[in-house]
Amino acid sequence: MAKMKYCGNCKQWVTPTKGVNWVIAIILLIFFVIPGIIYIIWAMSKGGKCPMCNSTNWSIPPKEENE
């Protein structure tokens, strides 16, 4: 089950963007240490955002609206 959050901007449930892909991060760290570190920092800052509006304006969903 996808971990969803309620976006206060879009007023709907969305699946937050993925953060660090550790497979990619480890491969990068093994072969290219500096880009690997940059990738992890970049991916962490990118992760957990709304895929629609790219914000982190998570809010509490209104009650019983999906009926």
Using CB under 5 A as the binding rule, whether residue 38 contacts Zn ion is answered as no
Q: Which of residues 6-25 bind Zn ion (CB under 5 A)?
A: 7, 9-10
Nearest distance from residue 19's CB to Zn ion, in Å?
A: 17
CA–CA gap between residue 48 and residue 38 (Å, rounded): 18
Torsion over CA: 45, 51, 56, 58 (sign): negative
Nearer to Zn ion, 33 or 57 (CB): 57
Query: Footprint of Zn ion on residues 47-66 (CB under 5 A)?
Result: 50, 52-53
Query: Is the alpha carbon torsion for 32, 33, 36, 42 positive or negative?
Result: negative
